């Protein structure tokens, strides 16, 4: 039975410091609720919540939920958590994050949900930015820190709710979007889905429960069966929206002509690096055109759009080496990021990679063993465990062995802890190369610890 959010006044968030949880906490607070929560990690997100008047406990204790009438938890929280156990024992309703996302989304006239194995955050940000540029006031829930909205949440009116829709644990199936996007469907989260067939079934359900149109990258349409509400975007003119004359400029950014059926929409110029962002842009264009946004606004939006943090972001200088970090943690994302780095900077690329979760590394080990080809050197950090226990077949040590088995001449160093890496890198003779930090864990902290000077590179 679905809850009525209006009935609850004091809501507790277990794991409130998560990127989605912190955004939802602010959304619910904006509805007039008393909000508090707990998180073991003190972070910029938890500090921001405190500044907004939300109490955040840094320990998980049963007493934290005293007086609360609803408890929300994220998928990363174990069932033995004392706050969850106490709530259940005292008949306080307990719901997962995605259920709250659905309850919040119900209040909006139009729900725009962006899904896919990759590109969700960038595409969500693109759509939100263009909507804001044309004078609309959407509410935005995004899985990253987006400068244009001052964080991961924008509180707008009730006309549009633009949100990421994550497939992990089928959380996106709680949503009933007006318009949706499926950027791509690749093998991922097999610790939950068990096999790719189950994952495809979930994306199929997501498409079917979209009320009006689900815009799908044409490369993956054949993975969806029996959906009558699908429109595709891609290269072929058989798609609802397609591209022609793709060009990479002197600044290494792409432009392309865009068509809708036989109608020429216009030429677009991206402000983001990487050919893969053309597909993200096509998804954004599809959604914006559906809501009547003009070519001129979309053109200006894509030309001036700056990406979310940790998406091909320049963070500083180490010796004479430029440092970038990127959230890429799936083999396809890693391949795209390395290719873009080589394409843009035309220098040696030294990559520092932190595998994210043992289960992902284990299930995608064949792809991980080959996705670093083209690098000049690779440093491996220990696997970021997140919610999981150690497993050798998902460890960075095993990944190193598999990479060398695939390519015995590959220059690979490690495996290191973060502290060990920092000590090691200071002894290396690095000159005029790119240091590329990849991973979805806490690797993002390292470049800021060794940077001489931040934001020195003009990204525009």
The DSSP string of 285-345 is HHHHHHTT--HHHHHHHHHH--PPTTSSEEEEEETTEEEEEE---SHHHHHHHHHHHHHHH
Phi and psi torsions of 291, nearest 5°:
-100, 15
Rg of the chain over all Cα atoms, to the nearest angstrom: 22
Residue 384 contacts residue 73 (beta carbons within 8 Å):
no
Spatial separation of the C-alpha atoms in residues 2 and 103, rounded to whole Å: 8
Residue 410 contacts residue 372 (beta carbons within 8 Å):
yes
Question: How does strand 313-318 pair with strand 321-326?
Answer: antiparallel
Spatial separation of the C-alpha atoms in residues 321 and 347, rounded to whole Å: 10
The answer to whether residue 210 is catalytic is: no
Among positive and negative, which fits the CA dihedral 339, 345, 350, 353? negative
The answer to whether residue 80 is catalytic is: no
User: Which member of 83, 145, 164, 186 is catalytic?
Assistant: 164
User: Which member of 121, 174, 210, 383 is catalytic?
Assistant: 121
> Beta-carbon neighbour count of residue 60 at 10 Å?
19
DSSP state of 391: -
| Sequence-distant (≥ 6) Cβ neighbours of residue 435 within 8 angstroms | 318, 321, 322, 323, 324, 350, 352, 447
User: Which member of 86, 117, 120, 333 is catalytic?
Assistant: 120
DSSP state of 384: B
The catalytic residues are: 120-121, 164
């Amino acid at each position: 039975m679905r809850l009525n959010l209006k009935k609850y006044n004091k809501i507790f968030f277990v794991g409130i410091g998560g990127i989605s949880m912190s955004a939802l906490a602010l959304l619910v607070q904006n509805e007039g609720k008393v909000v508090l929560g707990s998180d073991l990690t003190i972070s910029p997100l938890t500090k921001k919540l405190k500044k907004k008047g939300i109490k955040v406990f840094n320990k998980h204790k049963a007493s934290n939920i005293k007086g609360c009438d609803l408890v929300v938890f994220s998928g990363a929280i174990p069932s033995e958590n004392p706050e969850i156990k106490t709530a259940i024992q005292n008949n306080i309703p307990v719901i997962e994050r995605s259920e709250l996302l659905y309850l919040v989304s119900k209040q909006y006239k139009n729900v725009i949900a962006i899904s896919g194995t990759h590109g969700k955050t960038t595409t969500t940000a693109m759509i939100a930015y263009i909507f804001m540029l044309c004078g609309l006031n959407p509410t935005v829930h995004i899985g990253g820190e987006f400068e244009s909205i001052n964080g991961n949440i924008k509180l707008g009116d009730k006309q549009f709710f633009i949100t990421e829709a994550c497939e992990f644990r089928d959380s996106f199936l709680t949503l009933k979007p007006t318009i949706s996007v499926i950027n791509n469907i690749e093998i991922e989260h097999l610790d939950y889905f068990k096999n790719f067939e189950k994952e495809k079934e979930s994306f199929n359900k997501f498409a079917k429960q979209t009320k009006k149109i689900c815009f799908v990258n044409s490369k993956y349409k054949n993975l969806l069966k029996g959906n009558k509400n699908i429109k595709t975007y891609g290269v072929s003119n058989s798609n609802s929206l397609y591209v022609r004359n793709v060009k990479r400029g002197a600044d290494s950014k792409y432009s392309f002509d865009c068509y809708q059926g036989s109608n020429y929409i216009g030429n677009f110029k991206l402000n983001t690096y990487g050919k893969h962002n053309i597909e993200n842009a096509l998804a954004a264009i599809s959604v914006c055109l559906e809501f009547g946004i003009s070519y001129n606004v979309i053109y200006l939006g894509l030309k001036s759009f700056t990406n979310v943090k940790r998406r091909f972001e320049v963070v500083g200088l180490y010796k004479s080496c430029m440092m970038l970090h990127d959230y890429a943690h799936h083999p396809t994302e890693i391949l795209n990021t390395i290719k873009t780095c080589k394409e843009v900077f035309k220098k040696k690329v030294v990559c520092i990679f932190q595998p994210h979760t043992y289960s992902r590394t284990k299930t995608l080990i064949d792809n991980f063993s080959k996705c670093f080809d083209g690098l000049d050197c690779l440093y491996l950090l220990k696997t970021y465990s997140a919610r999981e226990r150690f497993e050798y077949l998902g460890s960075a040590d095993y990944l190193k062995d598999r990479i060398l088995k695939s390519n015995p001449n590959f220059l690979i160093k490690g495996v290191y802890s973060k502290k060990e890496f920092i000590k090691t890198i200071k002894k290396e003779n690095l000159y005029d190369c790119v240091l590329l930090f990849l991973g979805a864990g806490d690797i993002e902290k390292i470049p800021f610890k060794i940077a001489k000077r931040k934001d020195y590179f003009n990204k525009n």
